[in-house]
Chains A and B, each alone.
Chain A
Amino acid sequence: MTAAELRGTRGAPSGDAKTNGQSGSEPPSPLDALREALNAALRGKREVVEMVLACLLARGHLLVEDLPGFGKTTLAKALASAIGGRFSRIQCTPDLLPGDITGFSIFNQETRAFEFKAGPVFADVLLADEINRATPRTQSALLEVMAERQVTIDNTSHALPDRFFVIATQNPIELHGTFPLPEAQLDRFAIKLHIGPPSDEHLKQLLEASVGWLSDAQREASQVIDHDQLIRLQRQTADVAAAPPLVDYLVRLAEALGRHTQVVYPVSPRGLLIWLRLAQAWAVLDLRDYTTPDDVRVVAQSVLGVRLGIDAAAVEEVVSEVLAEVDVPDYKYDAG
């Protein structure tokens, strides 16, 4: 996959133009269409949208943490409808049982056999709302689903669709009666995002645009990218080149993080893999077929937000310290 092909997918050959600007009458690339759809749903949060897209391209699961009403669910639903397919939503509560999300076997009187009733996880996009309110037992039921994209019930494995994508939200306040996600669970998420409040300008736009609409549901976006296109994009992401100095840089970053006194858990190999994958995804979003240290650095905060076993503020501090400490690879010509 070359950069030219990448550009072909979006139809706009110029690398200098703004990525989200449609040039002339050319039809938008699937990536731009997706970006546009998400931006329309979540106003003024382009950086968040980019990260969500990167997460999608990297085939990682997304954890969104923010206050209620900031658009977590809106974002998830917009994404689900934009990539099409089935969307299910689990509202996590302390009495939610594993069977409620994975499905269960039921005895069919007519066929005299057990029949598997698929649960809500059998979807293309799964929104687990307020995931930290579910019991550890339920949370861990999601482990297998997220890591292996399959559900095993009564010794039978049921495969999930290959674009299965989990968006979990959690609420950083009202911690009464919540079960913080265990590290094992957190590591299965690719990134953690904060949406944050929109700027005044976008808030005004939002309010103005709401006039005349009975409910949000009415303007749910339509599907803008089909299954094959998404798979192809994910394929492209996996193909993005990572030069040896870059891999070395990633390893050095991980090593420096492990050495840091504040870090509780070092970055796992899976964490490093997903970090690289997100950097690759960022390169794809930038229409490149090779990753650069800049890509690695841009996604670092989001990737490490679910990994180091420390709170969000500390993560930001530690990651910026480590990024400033570890030497970026030099501009050296490598004949290989």
Chain B
Amino acid sequence: MDALRESLRRANWPLLTMVGLTSLLVGIGCVGPSGAGPLDVALAVGLWAAAVAGHLYVVRRERLASHWIVLALVAALLSPALQFLFFSPPATGLTPLATGCLIGLRNVILLAAVFSKAPRFERMAASASAFLVLVAFSLGDGLAVFLAAMFYTAAAVWWLMNRHWAAISRRRVAGRHTRLPWFGVTTIASCMALLVFAAVLLYPGSGRSLQDSLLEWLYGDDDSLSMKMEANRFNLEQETLEDLADDKYGENNAKSAGGRGGDSSDRMFKQASDFSTIRRPPDAQNQDTGQSMFFVQGPAAVHLPVTHYRDFDGATLKAESPSLTMGPRVSSFLRGDQAWKTLLDPKNRLLSEGDLGAGDMSFSLDAMKSMDADAIEELRRLAAQYVGADRPSVSPEFQSLDVAGLERALGDTRYWGRNMQYLGTHYDLDLLVEELQNDPQAMALLMEMAFNRQEGDEQRFADYLRRWRKQRPGPALPAEMAEVVQRWIEGKPPGRRQIDAVVEHLRADYQHDPTATAPADEPDSVRYFLLESKRGPDYLFATSATVILRSLGYPSRVVGGYYAPPEQFNWLTGRGEVRNDDVHFWTQVWVADLGVWLDLEPTPGYDMPHPPQPIGERLAAVYASAGDWAAKNAAWVTTVALVLVVVMLSRAVWTDLLATAWWRWRTRRRGDTSERAQRRLILRTCRLIERRAKFAGAARPAGTTWCDWVTPLFDDEPERQRDLRRLGRLANWAAFAPKRCSPPSHADYDQATAFCRAIVAKVTRRRLRPQTKRPASQRRVSQTRDPQQRTYTRLQPGTTS
């Protein structure tokens, strides 16, 4: 039992802690993105426990046969190879070779820690574990890795301090550990705690309060969070995207009279609704914004689609299909660059087949659905003119046709090809009407197709439309807008370049301004936005981008949903927060080659999801920005640095001044001449002198009493020496004599204040400097004395006064 206690006492705990945390970090940091299981943690802890047991056993042994240890270390390094022979390598995100190297290195560290009684194995374990921790830290992420690395840093500092202490401490007795001074340990520990705290607070991603972050982390995926989620889901069901959009963007002008129309049950089932782009500016007084709704895994900006809008009539976006409910499905957390794979994964049911654009898309001439009564009248007039020329009269059905009837009639036809579905814009209708005016044959074709169905008419009309679309050069837009867009895509080959050019110009030339809404009487918000205001909320960006891309022949659509901004990513929990004002509109373009809808972000200030940057680039960016900042504030940085250097160089002076001022303040006279005050004065004076000696490089060794210490200090000034010894005598009384004991010398006691002040004034830091450190001019040859006599004065009682 005693042997065990002795082993426990002599064990190298700092190193063992380091090694244990390294083992843990390798276990949880180097395992693939699936995360560490309890098995990894159990393995790490078990190996560490074995290492500790071995260390405790070895630490009692006198000699270590080092060649066997080296052999064992080599075996440990190669052990993963054997392991892989019999078992499959652990599933990590690394190659088997890299995994083997890491595991082998971990085994080496554990084994070296067992034999860390020998300094070289100790150094080996420490340096290798530092390397391994760096690797594990750069590979893994998440709070556990971060915390383990932090604790590792603390343990490493502890270990370094121990080594340093053992090296500098001249009081070290061979074969025994000397304890670290608690003051140093607590200082370092509190500094580290402060650093961690500051990192938590200052981390750029921690937009939310620390308390929330900590609570969220503490309760994690636990009950309270799911309760929160429930509440959010409830909110989501109650409030559709439209309602949230109303909150964010201001209300639809058209329905301003009734506020939010319809009863709640209606809204709950009406999952997708149209979105008007003619709105009031948002209400600045709205208190409901900023409420947390759900969380998204990973730090990247994520676009979460809810509703797709295929059609636009100049004022209102038409929802394409019953949208997906937001609640639980989107809140199943999406992680970084995995987001799109997850979103597009059919198993996830986040997006239906239809959303992918790969399913069965039934044709409808939706671009013409929004035809209004005036347009029909126009058509009717044109048809009548045409009929009057060389055709029998217009059929009675056509005479009595209304808008709904025409739409129904057109809706039954299946002419537009699949790819045409997302191509039509509200301008196409105008152009088509214009075209029909100039082309009576086409008009007749349309009429016949609609009302006098004949074999082959449909095909002919579809061919006509395609031809018509192809014949038109440039964007199918009104002249003014076409000119602008033509300028943007000038010289760009069709395809991705043109799409990028449109998006880039929108992002660069237009300003995101949520308050710059289109006026209520504006029939065409896109024209207003593109040509007049050149600023506006994100839905105008998205709508304009969609209209322009369609006019250029790229199938595209507006998407409404949520945007998880990187600023709201909480690095403690590893999740991004989506609030109710994170409603967002953006554009998707159909990429036929890949068979996917590609997100485009035309609004400046919103990021596209991108794969996480490698750690090196992130670091380089941080350094670059720090360098930029320093270059910008060069004057300040230089001044502060100079001041710091000066303060550092003269820190002894400053600290001495401060300590003396503190002494003066603590020992100021307040008419208190009690024995207690006197004792305190004397002891404070002693401590001040000791502190000065420390600054001067002649600190009192902890194992030396004051009287023994001051004796050789002023060899050349017997009077000063005598004063200091008298002070020591008084201090001995002040510190160690109970109240009933009288001071050693009444004369000294009565003049204690003056005496102490005189000593503080005379025994300066400069005077306390050791002889060898003093400049030659101040160095005095100390009088040689009989060493026997010194012994005598020290031993002889009564001479210490």
Residues in chain A within 8 A of chain B (CB atoms): 2-4, 15-20, 46-47, 50, 199, 241, 243, 245-246, 259-261, 282, 285-294, 297-298, 321-336
Kindly report which residue of chain B lies nearest to residue A249, judged by CB atoms.
Answer: B736
A-B contact pairs, 12 of them (CB 8 A): A2-B741, A19-B799, A241-B740, A243-B737, A245-B736, A291-B736, A298-B794, A324-B703, A325-B178, A325-B703, A329-B736, A333-B735
Q: Which of B155-172 contact A (CB under 8 A)?
A: 171
Question: Given that A3-B741, A325-B173, A331-B687 are known contacts, is A294 also in contact with B795, CB under 8 Å in the complex?
Answer: no
Main DSSP-derived SS at the A contact region? loop
- A324 CA to B173 CA, complexed, in Å: 10
- Once bound together, how far apart are the Cα atoms of A281 and B706, in whole Å? 21
Report chain A residues within 8 Å CB of B740: 2, 241
Partner of A288, one of B734, B744, B794, B796: B744
Q: Is the beta-carbon distance between A327 and B680 smaller than 8 angstroms?
A: no
| Cβ 8 A contact of A297, one of B178, B687, B705, B745 | B705
Taking the complex as formed, is B704 at the interface, i.e. its CB lies under 8 A from any CB of chain A?
yes
| Most chain A beta-carbon contacts within 10 A, residue among B707, B744, B792 | B744
Q: State the majority secondary structure of interface residues on B.
A: loop
A13 to chain B, nearest CB (A): 9
Please tell me if the beta carbons of A328 and B705 are within 8 angstroms of each other in the complex. yes
- Assess the A333–B738 pair: CB atoms within 8 A: no
**Bound CA–CA A50/B741 (angstroms):** 23
Q: CB-CB < 8 A to A298: which residues of B?
A: 794-795, 797
Which chain B residues lie closer than 8 Å to A289 at the CB level?
737, 741-742
Contact of A18 with B798 at beta-carbon distance under 8 Å, contacts A241-B737, A334-B735 already known: yes
B contact residues around A19 at 8 Å (CB)? 796-799
Q: Are B801 and A15 in contact (CB under 8 A)?
A: yes
* Assembled-state Cα–Cα distance A215/B788 (Å): 31
Q: Which of A245, A288, A321 contacts B735 (CB 8 A)?
A: A245
Question: Given A50, A323, A331, which contacts B795 in the complex, CB threshold below 8 Å?
Answer: A50
Tell me if A290 and B798 are in contact (CB < 8 A): no
| Residue in B676, B686, B703, B736 with the greatest tally of chain A CB atoms within 10 Å | B736
Known: A15-B801, A286-B798, A325-B171. A3 touches B744 (CB 8 A): yes
Say how far A191's CB is from chain B's closest CB, in angstroms: 14
Contacts of A288 in B (CB 8 A): 733, 737, 741, 744
Partner of B738, one of A243, A261, A282: A243
| Chain B residue at minimum C-beta to C-beta distance from A240 | B741
Nearest CB of A to B574, in Å: 48
Cβ 8 A contact of A324, one of B171, B733, B742, B799? B171
Contacts of A261 in B (CB 8 A): 174-176
Given contacts A4-B742, A294-B732, is CB(A47)–CB(B795) below 8 Å?
yes
With a cutoff of 8 Å between Cβ atoms, the chain B residues found around residue A246 in the complex are: 736
Is B731 interfacial (CB-CB < 8 Å)? Answer: yes
Is the Cβ of A50 less than 8 Å from the Cβ of B796? yes
Known contacts A199-B788, A246-B736; is-contact A294 B707 (Cβ 8 Å): yes
Q: Is the CB of B738 within 8 A of A241?
A: yes
A326 to chain B, nearest CB (A): 6
A33 CB → nearest B CB, Å = 15
Contacts A16-B745, A325-B173: A293 and B683 contacting too (C-beta < 8 A)? Answer: no
Contact call A292/B736, Cβ cutoff below 8 A: yes
Which of B173, B741, B797 has the most A CB atoms < 10 Å from its CB? B797
Residues of B within 8 A of A335 (CB): 676
A47 and B703 within 8 A (CB): no
Give chain B nearest CB distance to A327 CB in angstroms.
4
Give the docked Cα–Cα distance between A289 and B747 (Å): 18
Which chain B positions have C-beta within 8 A of A322?
173
Evaluate contact between A333 and B798: CB separation under 8 angstroms: no
Interface residues of B (CB under 8 A from A): 171, 173-176, 178, 676, 679-680, 683, 686-687, 701-708, 731-738, 740-745, 747, 788, 791-792, 794-801
- Output the least CB separation between B729 and chain A (Å): 9
A332/B799 in contact, CB under 8 A: no
**Closest A residue to B798 using CB positions:** A19
Instruction: Contact check, B735 vs A324: say whether CB atoms are below 8 A apart.
Output: no
Do B704 and A328 have beta carbons less than 8 Å apart?
yes
B798 touches A287 (CB 8 A): yes
Q: Which residues of B contact A287 (CB under 8 A)?
A: 744, 798
Distance from A43 Cβ to chain B, minimum over Cβ atoms (Å): 14
Chain B residue nearest to A322 in the complex (CB): B173
User: B705's contact among A16, A293, A332, A336, by CB below 8 Å, is which?
Assistant: A293
Complex Cα distance, B794 from A19, in Å, reads 14
Whether A331 contacts B796 in the complex (CB less than 8 A), given A15-B744, A291-B736, comes out as no
Q: Contact check, B176 vs A259: say whether CB atoms are below 8 A apart.
A: yes
CB distance from B797 to the nearest CB of A (A): 4
Known A324-B171, A328-B703: A292·B679 in contact at CB below 8 Å: no
Residues of A within 8 A of B797 (CB): 19, 50, 282, 285-286, 298
Measured CB to CB, the closest approach of chain B to A49, in angstroms, equals: 10
CB proximity of B477 to chain A, nearest CB, Å: 88
Query: Do A3 and B742 contact each other (CB < 8 Å), given the known contacts A260-B173, A294-B705, A324-B703?
Result: yes
Min CB distance B17 to A, Å, is 24
For A326, the chain B residues whose CB sits under 8 A away are 703
Chain A, Cβ-Cβ closest to B702: A327
Please name all residues of chain B whose beta carbon is closer than 8 Å to the beta carbon of A16 when the two chains form the complex.
Answer: 745, 747, 801
Cβ of A77 to closest chain B Cβ, rounded Å: 24
State how many angstroms separate the Cβ of B124 from the closest Cβ of chain A: 27
* Shortest CB distance A68–B (Å): 24
Check A290/B683 contact, CB under 8 A, given A323-B703, A324-B171, A328-B702.
Answer: no
Instruction: Report the Cα distance A288→B737, complex, angstroms.
Output: 9
Residue contact A321 to B788, C-beta cutoff 8 Å: no
- Contact check, B701 vs A324: say whether CB atoms are below 8 A apart: yes
Cβ distance B553 to chain A, nearest Cβ, rounded Å: 87
Report chain B residues within 8 Å CB of A334: 735
Most buried by A among B676, B683, B798, B800: B798
The answer for the CA separation of A111 and B734 in the assembled complex, in Å, is: 66
Q: Give Cα A19–Cα B734 distance, bound, in whole angstroms.
A: 22
Cα distance, A31 to B704, chains bound together (Å): 29
Establish whether residues B735 and A332, one from each chain, have CB atoms under 8 Å apart when the complex forms.
Answer: yes
Residue from the list A15, A18, A333 in contact with B745, Cβ < 8 A: A15
| Complex interface: chain A residues within 8 A of B706 (CB) | 331
Are the CB atoms of B683 and A331 closer together than 8 Å?
Answer: yes
In whole angstroms, what is the CA distance A216 to B797 when docked? 30
Which chain B residues lie closer than 8 Å to A323 at the CB level?
A: 703
Cα–Cα distance between A246 and B687 once the two chains are bound (Å): 18
Q: A241-B737, A243-B738 are in contact. Are A331 and B731 (CB under 8 A)?
A: yes
Give Cα distance in the complex from A260 to B176, angstroms. 8
Q: Shortest distance in angstroms between B711's beta carbon and chain A's nearest beta carbon?
A: 11
Decide if B701 touches A294 in the complex (CB within 8 Å): no
B801 touches A324 (CB 8 A): no
Complexed CA–CA distance, A4 and B745 (Å): 10
Determine the distance from Cα of A292 to Cα of B706 in the docked complex, in whole angstroms.
Answer: 11
Specify the chain A residue showing the minimal Cβ separation from B178.
A325
Closest chain A residue to B799, Cβ basis = A18
- Nearest CB of chain A from residue B552's CB, rounded to whole Å: 84
Distance, CA A46 to CA B747, complexed state (A): 28
Compute how far the CA of A336 lies from the CA of B737 in the bound complex, rounded to whole angstroms: 10
B736 with A290: CB separation less than 8 A: yes
Residues on A with beta carbons closer than 8 Å to the beta carbon of B734:
331, 333
Decide: B683 and A294 in contact? CB cutoff 8 A.
Answer: no
| Residue on A nearest B744 in the bound complex, by CB | A15
Contact of B733 among A46, A259, A290, A332 (CB under 8 A): A290
Which residue of chain B is the closest to A286 with respect to CB atoms?
A: B797
Taking CB atoms, residues of chain A closer than 8 Å to B701 are 324
Inside 8 A of A324's CB, which chain B residues have their CB? 171, 701, 703-704
What residues of A have a CB within 8 angstroms of the CB of B679 in the complex?
333
Chain A residues near B178 (CB-CB < 8 A): 325
A285 to B745, CA, bound (A): 15
Q: Are A46 and B796 in contact, CB atoms less than 8 angstroms apart? A: yes
> Could you tell me if B798 and A285 are in contact, using CB atoms closer than 8 angstroms?
yes
Give complex CA distance A94, B156 in Å. 64
B683, B702, B792, B800: the one contacting A286 at CB < 8 Å is B800
Given the interface contacts A47-B791, A47-B796, A199-B788, does A290 sit within 8 Å of B737 by beta carbon? yes
